Amino acid sequence: MGIDHTDYWRPEHPVQREVRAVLEDFTGAVLAQKVCAIDGCSVPTWAVPLESLAHGFAKFGTGHGLLPARASAAARLRQACAQKPWHVAGTDRFCTEIMQLFGARVFVKTGAEGVYCGALPQQGLGIAIKCDDGAGRAAQAIMAALIARFLPLDPAEHAALVPFMAPSLRNWNGFEVGAVRVTEAL
């Protein structure tokens, strides 16, 4: 952008104004200052309606509805994430493990407070989940169940996905103390 990056995290900085414009382009949502918070890295974090967020992830996954340069950038970013999923979320993280399993067929990313989003590019689908309790474990199980529902899987892929759809909860001693299960309504 050819600008000074000092204080790039401030909402009024040109970098953050561009980030906001890109989010509005992808989601179709108008991001007002009153729906902005600050994340752990100090950058602005925008509240986006779930339907708009899912639509944005579908656009990110397919490039449909984006200008050619932006669609190309999204495709490069998805390819980089598929090739090196560890850089998306790190070790022992749902995002990393799912993208290692499915490569470019699935893009998933955790958000804050029980939010999980994803794209199934070949199916043209975007997914946005918000669990009201703010925890990620149910959102991960739901995301895994949606992947199983909408992504064609061979038996080995399905078997690899099952532990994510129905994770056991263990205490500090390693004893199973409960489980997370997705309802039949899904």
Distances (CA, A) of 116 to 39, 104, 135, 156, 171: 16, 18, 10, 24, 24
171 contacts: CB under 8 Å, gap ≥ 6: 177
110-155 pLDDT per residue, tens: 888 889 999 999 999 999 999 998 888 899 999 999 999 999 999 9
**Amino acid present at 59:** K
For 30, which DSSP code? -
- pLDDT tens per residue across span 62-82: 999 999 999 999 999 999 999
pLDDT digits (tens, 9 = 90+) for 14-65: 999 999 999 999 999 999 888 888 887 888 999 999 999 999 999 999 999 9
Structure-token match 């980089």, residue found: 80
Nearest to 148 by CA among 169, 129, 120: 120
This prediction has a pTM of 0.91
Alpha carbon distance 85, 158 (integer Å): 20
Is the distance from CB of 34 to CB of 28 less than 8 angstroms?
no
- Cα separation, 19 vs 181, in Å, equals 36
- The Cα 134–Cα 138 span in angstroms is 9
Query: Torsion angle of alpha carbons 137, 117, 98, 133, nearest 10°?
Result: 0
